[in-house]
Structure 1
Amino acid sequence: MIQPKTTRMSNVELWQQWKEHRDIEAKKQLIEYYLPLVEYVSNRMAIGLPKNVSKDDLTSNGVMGLIDAIEKFDHRRGLQFETYASWRIRGAMIDGLRQGDWVPRSVREKAKKIEEAYAHLEQQLLRSVTDAEVSAYLNVSEREFQQMLQEIAVTTVCSLEDPIREEESETRLSMLVDEKAKNPDYKVQEHFLKETLIKGIERLTEKERIVISLFYYEELSLSEIAEVMSLSPSRISQLHSKAILRLRGALDKQKKQLLEN
Protein backbone atom coordinates (compact mmCIF):
# COMPACT_ATOMS: atom_id res chain seq x y z
CA MET A 1 0.00 0.00 0.00
CA ILE A 2 2.56 2.58 1.16
CA GLN A 3 6.24 2.56 0.35
CA PRO A 4 7.92 4.71 3.03
CA LYS A 5 11.13 6.50 2.25
CA THR A 6 14.39 4.79 3.27
CA THR A 7 16.25 6.05 6.35
CA ARG A 8 19.73 5.82 7.77
CA MET A 9 18.53 3.64 10.64
CA SER A 10 16.11 0.74 10.58
CA ASN A 11 12.51 1.31 11.58
CA VAL A 12 13.01 -0.51 14.89
CA GLU A 13 16.09 1.54 15.69
CA LEU A 14 14.28 4.78 14.96
CA TRP A 15 11.46 3.89 17.37
CA GLN A 16 13.94 2.88 20.04
CA GLN A 17 15.94 6.09 19.67
CA TRP A 18 12.84 8.25 19.81
CA LYS A 19 10.85 6.49 22.53
CA GLU A 20 13.68 5.45 24.80
CA HIS A 21 16.12 8.33 24.30
CA ARG A 22 13.83 11.11 23.00
CA ASP A 23 16.13 11.57 20.03
CA ILE A 24 14.62 14.46 18.03
CA GLU A 25 16.49 13.45 14.89
CA ALA A 26 14.97 9.98 15.10
CA LYS A 27 11.53 11.56 15.45
CA LYS A 28 12.13 13.67 12.36
CA GLN A 29 13.16 10.59 10.42
CA LEU A 30 10.04 8.74 11.58
CA ILE A 31 7.88 11.63 10.36
CA GLU A 32 9.62 11.57 6.98
CA TYR A 33 9.41 7.78 6.87
CA TYR A 34 5.63 7.78 7.31
CA LEU A 35 4.75 10.93 5.34
CA PRO A 36 3.41 8.81 2.42
CA LEU A 37 0.63 7.71 4.80
CA VAL A 38 -0.60 11.30 4.96
CA GLU A 39 -0.71 11.56 1.17
CA TYR A 40 -2.51 8.22 0.93
CA VAL A 41 -5.17 9.13 3.50
CA SER A 42 -5.69 12.63 2.09
CA ASN A 43 -6.24 11.20 -1.40
CA ARG A 44 -8.98 8.93 -0.06
CA MET A 45 -10.51 11.62 2.13
CA ALA A 46 -10.67 14.03 -0.81
CA ILE A 47 -13.06 11.71 -2.67
CA GLY A 48 -16.50 13.25 -2.71
CA LEU A 49 -15.57 16.33 -0.66
CA PRO A 50 -16.73 19.75 -1.90
CA LYS A 51 -14.40 21.60 -4.25
CA ASN A 52 -13.93 24.35 -1.68
CA VAL A 53 -12.11 21.90 0.60
CA SER A 54 -8.39 22.43 0.10
CA LYS A 55 -6.19 19.37 -0.41
CA ASP A 56 -3.35 21.33 1.19
CA ASP A 57 -5.47 21.85 4.32
CA LEU A 58 -6.21 18.14 4.49
CA THR A 59 -2.51 17.36 4.18
CA SER A 60 -1.48 19.92 6.80
CA ASN A 61 -3.99 18.56 9.30
CA GLY A 62 -2.91 15.03 8.40
CA VAL A 63 0.73 15.82 9.19
CA MET A 64 -0.35 17.04 12.63
CA GLY A 65 -2.21 13.77 13.08
CA LEU A 66 0.88 11.81 12.08
CA ILE A 67 3.03 13.70 14.59
CA ASP A 68 0.43 13.06 17.30
CA ALA A 69 0.45 9.35 16.41
CA ILE A 70 4.23 9.18 16.64
CA GLU A 71 4.07 10.90 20.03
CA LYS A 72 1.49 8.49 21.47
CA PHE A 73 2.32 5.17 19.80
CA ASP A 74 3.83 2.43 21.98
CA HIS A 75 6.19 0.48 19.71
CA ARG A 76 6.79 -2.20 22.37
CA ARG A 77 3.30 -3.65 22.06
CA GLY A 78 3.92 -5.11 18.61
CA LEU A 79 0.98 -3.33 16.97
CA GLN A 80 0.92 -2.10 13.37
CA PHE A 81 1.80 1.60 13.41
CA GLU A 82 0.41 2.22 9.91
CA THR A 83 -3.10 1.22 11.01
CA TYR A 84 -2.94 3.28 14.20
CA ALA A 85 -1.49 6.30 12.41
CA SER A 86 -4.05 6.14 9.60
CA TRP A 87 -6.91 6.64 12.08
CA ARG A 88 -5.04 9.45 13.83
CA ILE A 89 -4.37 11.13 10.49
CA ARG A 90 -8.00 10.73 9.41
CA GLY A 91 -9.18 12.06 12.76
CA ALA A 92 -6.98 15.15 12.45
CA MET A 93 -8.27 15.81 8.93
CA ILE A 94 -11.87 15.39 10.06
CA ASP A 95 -11.32 17.72 13.02
CA GLY A 96 -9.99 20.30 10.57
CA LEU A 97 -13.02 19.90 8.35
CA ARG A 98 -15.40 20.28 11.27
CA GLN A 99 -13.66 23.44 12.46
CA GLY A 100 -14.10 24.83 8.97
CA ASP A 101 -17.86 24.16 9.11
CA TRP A 102 -17.64 22.50 5.69
CA VAL A 103 -21.06 20.82 5.82
CA PRO A 104 -24.18 23.00 6.19
CA ARG A 105 -26.43 22.19 9.14
CA SER A 106 -29.33 21.51 6.76
CA VAL A 107 -27.31 18.75 5.08
CA ARG A 108 -26.45 17.14 8.41
CA GLU A 109 -30.12 17.28 9.41
CA LYS A 110 -31.08 15.47 6.19
CA ALA A 111 -28.48 12.80 6.91
CA LYS A 112 -29.85 12.36 10.43
CA LYS A 113 -33.44 12.04 9.16
CA ILE A 114 -32.47 9.35 6.65
CA GLU A 115 -30.40 7.52 9.27
CA GLU A 116 -33.36 7.52 11.66
CA ALA A 117 -35.69 6.38 8.87
CA TYR A 118 -33.50 3.36 8.12
CA ALA A 119 -33.19 2.49 11.82
CA HIS A 120 -36.95 2.77 12.45
CA LEU A 121 -38.12 0.94 9.34
CA GLU A 122 -35.59 -1.89 9.54
CA GLN A 123 -36.39 -2.43 13.21
CA GLN A 124 -40.08 -2.48 12.39
CA LEU A 125 -39.89 -4.65 9.27
CA LEU A 126 -36.87 -6.75 10.29
CA ARG A 127 -35.39 -6.58 6.79
CA SER A 128 -33.60 -4.27 4.42
CA VAL A 129 -35.97 -1.54 3.29
CA THR A 130 -36.38 -0.18 -0.23
CA ASP A 131 -35.86 3.35 -1.46
CA ALA A 132 -39.61 3.61 -2.02
CA GLU A 133 -40.32 2.73 1.62
CA VAL A 134 -37.79 5.24 2.94
CA SER A 135 -39.13 7.90 0.59
CA ALA A 136 -42.68 7.27 1.79
CA TYR A 137 -41.57 7.44 5.43
CA LEU A 138 -39.85 10.77 4.77
CA ASN A 139 -42.82 11.97 2.72
CA VAL A 140 -40.70 12.76 -0.34
CA SER A 141 -40.58 11.37 -3.86
CA GLU A 142 -37.96 8.78 -4.79
CA ARG A 143 -36.31 11.36 -7.02
CA GLU A 144 -36.09 13.80 -4.09
CA PHE A 145 -34.71 11.00 -1.92
CA GLN A 146 -31.96 10.28 -4.46
CA GLN A 147 -31.12 13.98 -4.52
CA MET A 148 -30.92 14.01 -0.73
CA LEU A 149 -28.47 11.09 -0.86
CA GLN A 150 -26.34 13.00 -3.34
CA GLU A 151 -26.30 16.07 -1.11
CA ILE A 152 -25.27 14.16 2.02
CA ALA A 153 -22.66 11.98 0.33
CA VAL A 154 -19.85 14.07 1.81
CA THR A 155 -21.10 13.52 5.36
CA THR A 156 -20.71 9.75 5.12
CA VAL A 157 -16.98 9.92 4.44
CA CYS A 158 -16.27 10.29 8.14
CA SER A 159 -19.40 8.87 9.71
CA LEU A 160 -17.65 6.16 11.74
CA GLU A 161 -15.45 8.86 13.29
CA ASP A 162 -18.45 10.49 14.94
CA PRO A 163 -18.67 10.23 18.74
CA ILE A 164 -20.54 7.27 20.20
CA ARG A 165 -22.29 9.73 22.50
CA GLU A 166 -22.66 13.39 21.62
CA GLU A 167 -21.20 14.58 24.91
CA GLU A 168 -18.10 12.37 24.67
CA SER A 169 -15.04 12.28 22.44
CA GLU A 170 -14.80 8.48 22.10
CA THR A 171 -15.57 7.40 18.54
CA ARG A 172 -16.95 4.14 17.19
CA LEU A 173 -13.60 3.40 15.61
CA SER A 174 -11.77 3.96 18.88
CA MET A 175 -13.53 0.87 20.18
CA LEU A 176 -11.61 -1.16 17.62
CA VAL A 177 -8.15 -0.02 18.79
CA ASP A 178 -6.25 -2.68 20.69
CA GLU A 179 -5.63 -1.76 24.31
CA LYS A 180 -3.18 -3.34 26.73
CA ALA A 181 -5.87 -3.87 29.35
CA LYS A 182 -9.54 -4.03 28.46
CA ASN A 183 -12.15 -3.93 31.18
CA PRO A 184 -15.26 -6.16 31.01
CA ASP A 185 -17.51 -3.27 29.95
CA TYR A 186 -15.21 -2.53 27.02
CA LYS A 187 -15.23 -6.18 25.94
CA VAL A 188 -19.03 -6.32 26.07
CA GLN A 189 -19.36 -3.13 24.03
CA GLU A 190 -16.78 -4.37 21.53
CA HIS A 191 -18.63 -7.67 21.15
CA PHE A 192 -21.99 -5.99 20.59
CA LEU A 193 -20.42 -3.48 18.20
CA LYS A 194 -19.03 -6.26 16.02
CA GLU A 195 -22.28 -8.21 16.17
CA THR A 196 -24.25 -5.10 15.24
CA LEU A 197 -21.98 -4.32 12.30
CA ILE A 198 -22.17 -7.90 11.05
CA LYS A 199 -25.97 -7.90 11.21
CA GLY A 200 -26.08 -4.44 9.65
CA ILE A 201 -23.88 -5.49 6.75
CA GLU A 202 -26.01 -8.60 6.22
CA ARG A 203 -29.05 -6.35 5.75
CA LEU A 204 -27.37 -4.26 3.06
CA THR A 205 -28.31 -4.89 -0.53
CA GLU A 206 -25.84 -6.84 -2.64
CA LYS A 207 -24.61 -3.70 -4.42
CA GLU A 208 -24.20 -1.84 -1.13
CA ARG A 209 -22.16 -4.71 0.33
CA ILE A 210 -19.94 -4.74 -2.75
CA VAL A 211 -19.33 -0.99 -2.50
CA ILE A 212 -18.48 -1.23 1.22
CA SER A 213 -16.17 -4.18 0.59
CA LEU A 214 -14.35 -2.56 -2.32
CA PHE A 215 -14.03 0.81 -0.59
CA TYR A 216 -13.05 -0.21 2.94
CA TYR A 217 -11.38 -3.58 2.42
CA GLU A 218 -9.96 -3.46 -1.10
CA GLU A 219 -9.35 0.29 -0.68
CA LEU A 220 -10.53 1.27 -4.14
CA SER A 221 -11.66 4.82 -4.84
CA LEU A 222 -15.29 5.51 -5.70
CA SER A 223 -14.34 6.14 -9.33
CA GLU A 224 -12.50 2.80 -9.47
CA ILE A 225 -15.52 1.05 -7.94
CA ALA A 226 -17.71 2.71 -10.56
CA GLU A 227 -15.57 1.13 -13.28
CA VAL A 228 -15.65 -2.29 -11.62
CA MET A 229 -19.43 -2.24 -11.20
CA SER A 230 -20.15 -0.47 -14.51
CA LEU A 231 -22.08 2.27 -12.72
CA SER A 232 -21.68 6.04 -12.60
CA PRO A 233 -19.57 7.57 -9.78
CA SER A 234 -22.67 9.41 -8.53
CA ARG A 235 -24.56 6.11 -8.27
CA ILE A 236 -21.66 4.56 -6.34
CA SER A 237 -21.68 7.59 -4.06
CA GLN A 238 -25.40 7.06 -3.40
CA LEU A 239 -24.91 3.37 -2.65
CA HIS A 240 -22.07 4.23 -0.26
CA SER A 241 -24.20 6.85 1.50
CA LYS A 242 -27.15 4.49 1.93
CA ALA A 243 -24.93 1.71 3.28
CA ILE A 244 -23.25 4.01 5.81
CA LEU A 245 -26.57 5.49 6.93
CA ARG A 246 -28.00 1.99 7.43
CA LEU A 247 -24.99 1.02 9.55
CA ARG A 248 -25.13 4.25 11.52
CA GLY A 249 -28.79 3.59 12.28
CA ALA A 250 -27.95 0.10 13.49
CA LEU A 251 -25.12 1.41 15.68
CA ASP A 252 -27.29 4.15 17.18
CA LYS A 253 -29.97 1.59 18.00
CA GLN A 254 -27.36 -0.60 19.72
CA LYS A 255 -26.05 2.44 21.61
CA LYS A 256 -29.50 3.18 23.02
CA GLN A 257 -29.91 -0.46 24.10
CA LEU A 258 -26.55 -0.38 25.88
CA LEU A 259 -27.48 2.81 27.68
CA GLU A 260 -30.79 1.31 28.81
CA ASN A 261 -29.16 -1.86 30.19
Structure 2
Amino acid sequence: MDSTLSDTQTNGIASVWRSWKAAGDPEAKRKLIEHYVSLVDYVTSRLAIGLPRNVSKDDLASYGIMGLIDAVDKFDLERGLQFETYASWRIRGAIIDGLRQADWVPRSVREKARKIEEAYQRLEQQHLRSVTDGEISAYLQVSEQEFQQMVQEVSVASLVSLEDPIREEESETRMTLLVDERAKNPEDSVRDIYLKESLAKAIERLTEKERTVVSLFYFEELSLSEIAEVMSLSPSRISQLHSKAILRLRGHLGRAKEQLMQQ
Protein backbone atom coordinates (compact mmCIF):
# COMPACT_ATOMS: atom_id res chain seq x y z
CA MET A 1 0.00 0.00 0.00
CA ASP A 2 1.59 3.25 -1.15
CA SER A 3 0.58 5.95 1.34
CA THR A 4 3.56 8.24 0.77
CA LEU A 5 2.57 11.89 0.71
CA SER A 6 4.40 14.94 -0.63
CA ASP A 7 5.46 17.66 1.82
CA THR A 8 2.57 19.83 0.64
CA GLN A 9 0.06 17.02 1.16
CA THR A 10 1.55 16.18 4.56
CA ASN A 11 1.33 19.76 5.77
CA GLY A 12 -2.19 20.08 4.40
CA ILE A 13 -3.54 16.95 6.06
CA ALA A 14 -1.78 17.88 9.31
CA SER A 15 -3.72 21.14 9.30
CA VAL A 16 -6.97 19.27 8.80
CA TRP A 17 -6.09 16.95 11.69
CA ARG A 18 -5.50 19.94 13.95
CA SER A 19 -8.85 21.44 12.95
CA TRP A 20 -10.61 18.21 13.85
CA LYS A 21 -8.76 17.33 17.05
CA ALA A 22 -8.38 20.84 18.47
CA ALA A 23 -11.65 22.42 17.39
CA GLY A 24 -13.87 19.42 16.61
CA ASP A 25 -14.63 20.83 13.17
CA PRO A 26 -17.08 18.36 11.50
CA GLU A 27 -16.00 19.56 8.05
CA ALA A 28 -12.41 18.63 8.91
CA LYS A 29 -13.60 15.18 9.98
CA ARG A 30 -15.39 14.74 6.66
CA LYS A 31 -12.24 15.72 4.76
CA LEU A 32 -10.17 13.21 6.76
CA ILE A 33 -12.59 10.38 6.01
CA GLU A 34 -12.58 11.24 2.30
CA HIS A 35 -8.78 11.50 2.28
CA TYR A 36 -8.26 8.07 3.87
CA VAL A 37 -11.19 6.17 2.34
CA SER A 38 -8.75 4.34 0.03
CA LEU A 39 -7.59 2.45 3.14
CA VAL A 40 -11.01 0.83 3.28
CA ASP A 41 -10.70 -0.35 -0.32
CA TYR A 42 -7.23 -1.72 0.39
CA VAL A 43 -8.17 -3.68 3.52
CA THR A 44 -11.45 -4.88 2.01
CA SER A 45 -9.73 -6.18 -1.12
CA ARG A 46 -7.20 -8.14 0.95
CA LEU A 47 -9.81 -9.74 3.17
CA ALA A 48 -12.23 -10.51 0.35
CA ILE A 49 -9.73 -12.83 -1.37
CA GLY A 50 -10.04 -15.51 1.31
CA LEU A 51 -13.79 -15.24 1.92
CA PRO A 52 -16.66 -17.18 0.35
CA ARG A 53 -18.30 -15.66 -2.72
CA ASN A 54 -21.57 -15.16 -0.87
CA VAL A 55 -19.89 -12.51 1.30
CA SER A 56 -20.64 -9.17 -0.34
CA LYS A 57 -17.68 -6.85 -0.86
CA ASP A 58 -20.11 -3.94 -0.43
CA ASP A 59 -20.95 -5.24 3.04
CA LEU A 60 -17.25 -5.46 3.86
CA ALA A 61 -16.77 -1.89 2.69
CA SER A 62 -19.67 -0.70 4.86
CA TYR A 63 -18.12 -2.33 7.92
CA GLY A 64 -14.76 -0.85 6.94
CA ILE A 65 -16.11 2.70 6.68
CA MET A 66 -17.38 2.40 10.25
CA GLY A 67 -13.89 1.33 11.28
CA LEU A 68 -12.34 4.30 9.50
CA ILE A 69 -14.73 6.71 11.22
CA ASP A 70 -13.88 5.11 14.57
CA ALA A 71 -10.15 5.47 13.79
CA VAL A 72 -10.52 9.17 12.93
CA ASP A 73 -12.41 9.70 16.19
CA LYS A 74 -9.93 7.85 18.40
CA PHE A 75 -6.55 8.57 16.78
CA ASP A 76 -4.11 10.35 19.11
CA LEU A 77 -1.91 12.81 17.24
CA GLU A 78 0.53 13.04 20.15
CA ARG A 79 1.59 9.41 20.04
CA GLY A 80 3.65 9.71 16.88
CA LEU A 81 2.08 6.69 15.16
CA GLN A 82 1.19 6.58 11.48
CA PHE A 83 -2.53 6.99 11.04
CA GLU A 84 -2.52 4.63 8.06
CA THR A 85 -1.23 1.77 10.23
CA TYR A 86 -3.61 2.53 13.09
CA ALA A 87 -6.62 2.93 10.79
CA SER A 88 -5.88 -0.26 8.85
CA TRP A 89 -6.18 -2.29 12.05
CA ARG A 90 -9.36 -0.45 13.08
CA ILE A 91 -10.87 -1.02 9.64
CA ARG A 92 -9.89 -4.69 9.66
CA GLY A 93 -11.33 -5.10 13.15
CA ALA A 94 -14.62 -3.48 12.16
CA ILE A 95 -14.94 -5.78 9.15
CA ILE A 96 -14.18 -8.83 11.30
CA ASP A 97 -16.75 -7.71 13.88
CA GLY A 98 -19.33 -7.28 11.13
CA LEU A 99 -18.65 -10.74 9.74
CA ARG A 100 -18.80 -12.29 13.19
CA GLN A 101 -22.13 -10.64 13.98
CA ALA A 102 -23.50 -11.83 10.63
CA ASP A 103 -22.45 -15.37 11.66
CA TRP A 104 -21.29 -16.22 8.14
CA VAL A 105 -19.34 -19.32 9.14
CA PRO A 106 -21.52 -22.49 9.33
CA ARG A 107 -21.72 -24.16 12.75
CA SER A 108 -20.25 -27.38 11.34
CA VAL A 109 -17.15 -25.48 10.15
CA ARG A 110 -16.76 -23.78 13.53
CA GLU A 111 -16.96 -27.18 15.21
CA LYS A 112 -14.25 -28.62 12.96
CA ALA A 113 -12.03 -25.61 13.63
CA ARG A 114 -12.57 -26.04 17.37
CA LYS A 115 -11.60 -29.73 17.23
CA ILE A 116 -8.41 -29.05 15.26
CA GLU A 117 -7.45 -26.18 17.56
CA GLU A 118 -8.01 -28.39 20.60
CA ALA A 119 -5.86 -31.11 19.04
CA TYR A 120 -2.97 -28.69 18.46
CA GLN A 121 -3.36 -27.32 21.98
CA ARG A 122 -3.30 -30.70 23.73
CA LEU A 123 -0.63 -32.41 21.61
CA GLU A 124 1.80 -29.49 21.51
CA GLN A 125 1.44 -29.05 25.26
CA GLN A 126 2.15 -32.75 25.66
CA HIS A 127 5.13 -32.93 23.27
CA LEU A 128 6.43 -29.34 23.74
CA ARG A 129 7.03 -29.05 20.00
CA SER A 130 5.25 -28.53 16.72
CA VAL A 131 3.27 -31.69 16.02
CA THR A 132 2.92 -33.30 12.60
CA ASP A 133 -0.17 -33.73 10.44
CA GLY A 134 0.03 -37.45 11.13
CA GLU A 135 -0.10 -36.92 14.89
CA ILE A 136 -3.05 -34.56 14.58
CA SER A 137 -4.85 -37.01 12.27
CA ALA A 138 -4.32 -39.86 14.73
CA TYR A 139 -5.64 -37.73 17.60
CA LEU A 140 -8.74 -36.80 15.59
CA GLN A 141 -9.09 -40.43 14.42
CA VAL A 142 -9.19 -39.50 10.76
CA SER A 143 -6.88 -40.16 7.82
CA GLU A 144 -4.34 -37.53 6.82
CA GLN A 145 -6.32 -36.95 3.65
CA GLU A 146 -9.48 -36.34 5.70
CA PHE A 147 -7.53 -33.99 7.95
CA GLN A 148 -6.32 -31.97 4.95
CA GLN A 149 -9.92 -31.71 3.78
CA MET A 150 -10.97 -30.47 7.22
CA VAL A 151 -8.25 -27.82 7.14
CA GLN A 152 -9.41 -26.70 3.71
CA GLU A 153 -13.00 -26.41 4.94
CA VAL A 154 -12.06 -24.25 7.92
CA SER A 155 -9.69 -22.03 5.94
CA VAL A 156 -12.21 -19.20 5.61
CA ALA A 157 -12.86 -19.25 9.36
CA SER A 158 -9.14 -19.02 10.15
CA LEU A 159 -8.92 -15.64 8.43
CA VAL A 160 -10.61 -14.10 11.45
CA SER A 161 -9.31 -16.40 14.17
CA LEU A 162 -6.68 -14.04 15.53
CA GLU A 163 -9.29 -11.30 15.66
CA ASP A 164 -11.28 -13.05 18.37
CA PRO A 165 -11.27 -11.12 21.67
CA ILE A 166 -8.69 -12.20 24.26
CA ARG A 167 -11.34 -11.81 26.93
CA GLU A 168 -15.07 -11.86 26.20
CA GLU A 169 -15.76 -8.54 27.89
CA GLU A 170 -13.08 -6.67 25.95
CA SER A 171 -12.54 -5.63 22.35
CA GLU A 172 -8.76 -6.20 22.43
CA THR A 173 -7.75 -9.03 20.12
CA ARG A 174 -4.74 -11.29 19.79
CA MET A 175 -3.44 -9.50 16.72
CA THR A 176 -3.57 -6.10 18.42
CA LEU A 177 -0.74 -7.40 20.59
CA LEU A 178 1.44 -6.90 17.53
CA VAL A 179 0.46 -3.23 17.23
CA ASP A 180 2.01 -0.45 19.30
CA GLU A 181 -0.78 0.33 21.79
CA ARG A 182 -0.37 2.30 25.02
CA ALA A 183 -0.94 0.19 28.14
CA LYS A 184 -3.61 1.63 30.43
CA ASN A 185 -2.13 0.36 33.69
CA PRO A 186 0.72 -1.83 35.01
CA GLU A 187 -1.49 -4.93 35.15
CA ASP A 188 -2.40 -4.56 31.48
CA SER A 189 1.26 -3.98 30.64
CA VAL A 190 2.36 -7.20 32.35
CA ARG A 191 -0.46 -9.13 30.70
CA ASP A 192 0.41 -7.78 27.26
CA ILE A 193 4.12 -8.59 27.69
CA TYR A 194 3.24 -12.14 28.72
CA LEU A 195 0.89 -12.64 25.77
CA LYS A 196 3.38 -11.12 23.31
CA GLU A 197 6.05 -13.51 24.58
CA SER A 198 3.59 -16.41 24.27
CA LEU A 199 2.73 -15.39 20.71
CA ALA A 200 6.41 -15.11 19.81
CA LYS A 201 7.07 -18.61 21.17
CA ALA A 202 4.06 -19.93 19.28
CA ILE A 203 5.32 -18.43 16.02
CA GLU A 204 8.74 -20.02 16.61
CA ARG A 205 7.07 -23.43 16.80
CA LEU A 206 5.41 -23.07 13.41
CA THR A 207 6.94 -24.89 10.48
CA GLU A 208 9.17 -22.80 8.21
CA LYS A 209 6.48 -22.50 5.54
CA GLU A 210 3.81 -21.59 8.07
CA ARG A 211 6.02 -18.86 9.56
CA THR A 212 6.66 -17.49 6.08
CA VAL A 213 2.94 -17.32 5.31
CA VAL A 214 2.17 -15.59 8.61
CA SER A 215 4.99 -13.11 8.09
CA LEU A 216 4.01 -12.27 4.52
CA PHE A 217 0.29 -12.03 5.28
CA TYR A 218 0.26 -10.15 8.59
CA PHE A 219 3.50 -8.17 8.45
CA GLU A 220 4.31 -7.67 4.77
CA GLU A 221 0.58 -7.35 4.01
CA LEU A 222 0.59 -9.57 0.93
CA SER A 223 -2.62 -11.27 -0.14
CA LEU A 224 -2.85 -15.07 -0.13
CA SER A 225 -2.65 -15.11 -3.93
CA GLU A 226 0.48 -12.91 -3.85
CA ILE A 227 2.04 -15.22 -1.25
CA ALA A 228 1.31 -18.17 -3.53
CA GLU A 229 3.33 -16.50 -6.28
CA VAL A 230 6.21 -15.66 -3.93
CA MET A 231 6.40 -19.20 -2.54
CA SER A 232 5.65 -20.93 -5.87
CA LEU A 233 2.75 -22.84 -4.34
CA SER A 234 -0.92 -23.07 -5.22
CA PRO A 235 -3.36 -20.64 -3.53
CA SER A 236 -5.15 -23.61 -1.93
CA ARG A 237 -1.85 -24.82 -0.42
CA ILE A 238 -1.16 -21.33 0.97
CA SER A 239 -4.67 -21.28 2.41
CA GLN A 240 -4.00 -24.60 4.14
CA LEU A 241 -0.66 -23.41 5.55
CA HIS A 242 -2.32 -20.24 6.82
CA SER A 243 -5.13 -22.23 8.45
CA LYS A 244 -2.74 -24.62 10.19
CA ALA A 245 -0.62 -21.72 11.43
CA ILE A 246 -3.61 -19.88 12.86
CA LEU A 247 -5.01 -23.00 14.52
CA ARG A 248 -1.60 -23.70 16.09
CA LEU A 249 -1.37 -20.10 17.32
CA ARG A 250 -4.91 -20.21 18.71
CA GLY A 251 -4.11 -23.39 20.59
CA HIS A 252 -0.94 -21.92 22.09
CA LEU A 253 -2.60 -18.64 23.02
CA GLY A 254 -5.54 -20.54 24.48
CA ARG A 255 -3.13 -22.21 26.91
CA ALA A 256 -1.53 -18.85 27.68
CA LYS A 257 -4.93 -17.35 28.41
CA GLU A 258 -5.79 -20.20 30.79
CA GLN A 259 -2.49 -19.78 32.63
CA LEU A 260 -3.04 -16.03 32.85
CA MET A 261 -6.49 -16.45 34.37
CA GLN A 262 -5.10 -18.84 36.99
CA GLN A 263 -2.55 -16.29 38.23
TM-score grouping bracket, smaller chain normalisation: over 0.9
Distance 1:134 1:34 in 2: 44
Q: Deviations over 1:163-190 (max 9, x none)?
A: 1123443322344554555422112111
Query: Does the alignment pair 1:40 with 2:25?
Result: no
Query: Does the alignment pair 1:245 with 2:225?
Result: no
Cross-structure match for 2:149: 147
SS of residue in 2 equivalent to 1:216: helix
Cross-structure match for 1:82: 84
Q: How many residues align?
A: 261
Q: Deviations over 1:140-178 (max 9, x none)?
A: 111111111111111111111101123443322344554
Which residue of the other structure, out of 114, 134, 137, is the alignment partner of 1:135?
137
State the Cα distance separating 1:27 from its structure 2 match: 0.9
TM-score (norm 1): 0.94
1:38, 1:89 within 8 Å by CA — same for their partners in 2? yes
Q: Which moved more, 1:121-130 or 1:156-165?
A: 156-165
Q: Deviations over 1:211-258 (max 9, x none)?
A: 111112222111111122221110110000000110111111000001
Q: Note the residue ranges of structure 2 that are not aligned, 5 or more in a row.
A: none
State the Cα distance separating 1:83 from its structure 2 match: 1.6
State the Cα distance separating 1:198 from its structure 2 match: 1.4
Which residue of the other structure, out of 158, 162, 165, is the alignment partner of 2:164?
162
Amino acid at match of 1:97: L
Query: Does the alignment pair 1:214 with 2:216?
Result: yes
* 1:6-155 equivalences in 2 (<5 Å): 10-155=12-157
User: Kindly tell me: are residues 139 and 200 of structure 1, through their superposed partners in 2, closer, same or farther at Cα, counting changes over 3 Å?
Assistant: same
Cross-structure match for 2:191: 189
RMSD of aligned C-alpha atoms? 1.9
TM-score (norm 2): 0.93
SS of residue in 2 equivalent to 1:10: helix
Distance 1:206 1:69 in 2: 35
User: Kindly tell me: are residues 22 and 9 of structure 1, through their superposed partners in 2, closer, same or farther at Cα, counting changes over 3 Å?
Assistant: farther
Distance 1:51 1:101 in 2: 15
State the Cα distance separating 1:84 from its structure 2 match: 1.5
Distance 2:61 2:114 in 1: 28
Cross-structure match for 2:2: 2
Identity of aligned residues (%): 70
State the Cα distance separating 1:88 from its structure 2 match: 1.2
Q: Note the residue ranges of structure 1 that are not aligned, 5 or more in a row.
A: none
